Amino acid sequence: MRIVNVVKNSDADSYNSPLDKLVELDKSALRPAATVMLIRDIENDAFEVFMLQRTLNAAFAGGMYVFPGGRVDESDGIEELEQLCDGLDDQHASGLLEIPSGGLAYWVAAIRECFEEAGVLLARSTKTNKTIAFDKPEIINRFAEAQLKVHDFSLSMVELCRSEELHLITDSIHYVSHWITPVGEARRFDTRFFVARAPESQEPLHDSQETIASLWVQPQDALDKLASGELAMFPPTSENLKFLAKYKTSDEVLAAAEKVLKPVAILPRLRINSDGKVTGVLMPGDPDY
């Protein structure tokens, strides 16, 4: 995946931007990924966001608190899914992401990963026209089984939607930020962050496989816990929490998210000392970035 014109710089030489040059020199392939921030209102005109703790022995981000998400798989972009997505087709989605094609797969991946990792399915029943409700034991058990099958690839999202008569509510999931893993990391991701209202009739929970803990937390409280060392997280997570923390209710967040157009890709850089060891992360705008 080639990235161009992300960071504008009038002094760039034969490259379009400093990021172009870094990507050109880097040998690690960027993996497309999608993450969704689930939010819900609570008392006193406040809201919470759902977070997961990744397993301590994970190959990437072990022990870190994250939002549900993961890699965009090839199956997320198959043509059959387009007719099962509400209010969004691939052309429109790709335009929002500023890529030639395949944009809808990011929304589908966000929904799939949220279902796999947290057991929340952002979909509506075509029979009731309402978000699917996990409100009866037989429904809960059926979708718990489907969650496991989707996770191990024995059930596709197309098969799930067709068998349960569902459409994915892609029109209710808003794209708000774009982050790229620093050059030099062993695993690098080109990640799009989304925000969506959590269904009232579904209760998220970590899967106890890729994730080992979960919590609902107010964004500023999560940032305070990061500052105190109680929660560990990477800059993309904390910076998206700062976006959420600007608002009082989930309605305000979603209204603001709808107005976000063409987020600038953010590429942190690793700070490396004279011995070649990573000592920190530099953000765009830092003096020595």
The CATH number given to whatever domain includes residue 194 is 3.90.79.10
If we measure between CA atoms, which residue out of 255, 265, 216, 226 comes closest to residue 30? 265
Confirm whether 21 is domain-assigned.
Answer: no
pLDDT in tens, 213-241: 899 999 999 999 999 999 999 999 999 99
Confirm whether 54 is domain-assigned.
Answer: yes
Confirm whether 19 is domain-assigned.
Answer: no
What parts of the chain have a pLDDT lower than 70?
Answer: 1-28, 56-62, 208
Which residues are CB-neighbours of 40 under 8 A, at least 6 positions away? 47, 48, 50, 197, 198, 200, 216, 250
DSSP 131: B
Confirm whether 289 is domain-assigned.
Answer: no
- Cα 112 from Cα 147, distance rounded (Å): 9
**Which residue range is the domain that position 250 belongs to?**
28-282
pLDDT of residue 286: 84
pLDDT of residue 9: 31
Taking CA atoms, 193 is separated from 66, 67, 176, 179, in Å, by: 11, 9, 6, 8
Question: Which H/E stretch holds residue 149?
Answer: helix 137-151
Confirm whether 4 is domain-assigned.
Answer: no
- Cα 114 from Cα 147, distance rounded (Å): 10
- Cα 181 from Cα 179, distance rounded (Å): 7
pLDDT in tens, 83-123: 999 999 999 999 999 999 999 999 999 999 999 999 999 99
Confirm whether 194 is domain-assigned.
Answer: yes
Confirm whether 228 is domain-assigned.
Answer: yes
| 131 within 8 A of 201, measured Cβ to Cβ | yes
pTM: 0.87
Taking CA atoms, 172 is separated from 66, 107, 198, 226, 243, in Å, by: 21, 10, 10, 29, 18
pLDDT of residue 206: 79
If we measure between CA atoms, which residue out of 144, 157, 40 comes closest to residue 104? 157
- Cα 281 from Cα 187, distance rounded (Å): 16
User: How many domains is the chain built from?
Assistant: 1
Taking CA atoms, 278 is separated from 66, 182, 197, in Å, by: 22, 11, 37
- Cα 139 from Cα 142, distance rounded (Å): 5
Confirm whether 12 is domain-assigned.
Answer: no
